[in-house]
Amino acid sequence: MRLKDKVAIVTGGVKGIGREIVRGYVREGAKVVAIYVSSAAGHEMDRELRSGNDGMALKVNIAKRAEVDEMVAKVVNELGRIDILVNCAAIYEGAPFMQITEEQWMQVIDINLNGVFRVTQAVAAVMLKQGSGKIINISSMQALMGVSLMAHYTAAKGGLISLTRALAAELSPLGINVNCVAPGVTETEHLQALLPPEYLNMVGKTTAIGRMARADEYVGICLLLGSDDASYITGETIRVDGGMSQVWPQMPGGPVQA
Ligand SMILES: NC(=O)c1ccc[n+]([C@@H]2O[C@H](COP(=O)([O-])OP(=O)(O)OC[C@H]3O[C@@H](n4cnc5c(N)ncnc54)[C@H](O)[C@@H]3O)[C@@H](O)[C@H]2O)c1
């Protein structure tokens, strides 16, 4: 078990990619606290975690500093320490740049970037006292490749990549590794409700692997980055995008078997 006796917090841990990370961490022996803001899925995850004595799900709005501070105090009080933080919570929906209102812009930045600031600062205070910790920020391939209708989201996710490097510079000498994962297009309920299947399938086909990711295909990288095996990895942004950013779409007629 790669995470035996570790305590992890996963924001956005009751749905989509975050839920798979929570389950993957539990399978490897961690006690996990899954953070959500408002969802029946939150209660389900709370039952799932408590029934196996594997942790709990907590309703915390990462846009509210007081709620974040209270959550971190509760985790330390009940579980004693925090070894891993996965910043996975985010909101996203499409809007043309010229129609994004100042309120929409501020809301996306406030959750997707400022939320990471709040949770990370509160958790890092605990990790600094311990002299150890692993922080994993979930960004997006959209921060590395231009994409239309997502300027606010893309700006926030690009900020996470820079924040990862800045925090690695400050915190790594003190025992905290900070890394980032940039997922590609992924079959989650949220994304599939937002975009038509024809478009998603077309994007999936432009990857080297030839399909969209499943939500559980980020568990491996998050296990590595959360474990002691990542002791010399910090400041990195790791693309998990099926090769989308590395290869051209297939030529007509391909792929062809020998
Ligand atoms: N699905 C994709 O194709 C894709 C691609 C690239 C990156 N990502 C990133 O991966 C992560 C997960 O994506 P997903 O599709 O699984 O998302 P999702 O919408 O299924 O889950 C998001 C989670 O964030 C939580 N959340 C939202 N606002 C919050 C707040 N204010 N406080 C606390 N929690 C809050 C929600 O409760 C939910 O559990 C996100 O960071 C997303 O930007 C997703």
Count the domains in the chain: 1
Kindly report the pTM of this predicted structure: 0.98
| Closest C-alpha to ligand 1, atom 14 | 16
How far apart CA 146 and CA 144 sit, in angstroms, is 7
* Ligand 1 atom closest to 157 (CA): 43
Q: What is the number of the ligand 1 atom nearest to the C-alpha of 16?
A: 16
The Cα 128–Cα 87 span in angstroms is: 18
* Residues with Cβ within 8 Å of residue 183, at least 6 apart in sequence: 17, 138, 139, 140, 141, 213, 218, 240, 241
Residue of the CA atom closest to atom 37 of ligand 1: 36
Q: How far is the CA of 36 from the centre of ligand 1 (A)?
A: 10
Tracing tokens 């980032």 back to the chain, one arrives at: 180
Within a domain: 256 = no
CATH number at residue 222: 3.40.50.720
Q: What is the pLDDT, as a whole number, of residue 253? A: 86
Query: DSSP characters for 104-141?
Result: HHHHHHHHHTHHHHHHHHHHHHHHHHHT-EEEEEE--G
pLDDT < 70 stretches in the chain = none
Looking at residue 258, its pLDDT comes to 80
169 found inside a domain: yes
Pocket test for ligand 1, best of 9, 14, 15 (most atoms within 8 A of CB): 15
H/E stretch holding 23: helix 16-27
- CA gap 32, 86 in Å, rounded: 10
Q: In this predicted structure, what is the pLDDT of residue 39?
A: 81
For 63-122, the pLDDT digits (tens) are 999 999 999 999 999 999 999 999 999 999 999 999 999 999 999 999 999 999 999 999
The residue segments making up the domain with residue 77 are: 7-240
Residue among 33, 43, 64, 191 whose CB has most ligand 1 atoms within 8 A, to mutate: 191
User: Annotated catalytic residue: which of 153, 199, 218, 232?
Assistant: 153
12 CA → ligand 1 middle, Å: 6
Active site residue 218: no
Answer yes or no: is 257 within a domain.
Answer: no
| Residue 143 DSSP one-character state | G
Q: What pLDDT sits at residue 76? A: 98
In a domain, 175, yes or no: yes
- Residue 246 counted as domain residue: no
- Asked whether residue 255 is assigned to any structural domain, the reply reads no
In a domain, 176, yes or no: yes
Instruction: Count CB neighbours of 17 within 10 A.
Output: 29
Q: Is residue 249 part of a domain?
A: no
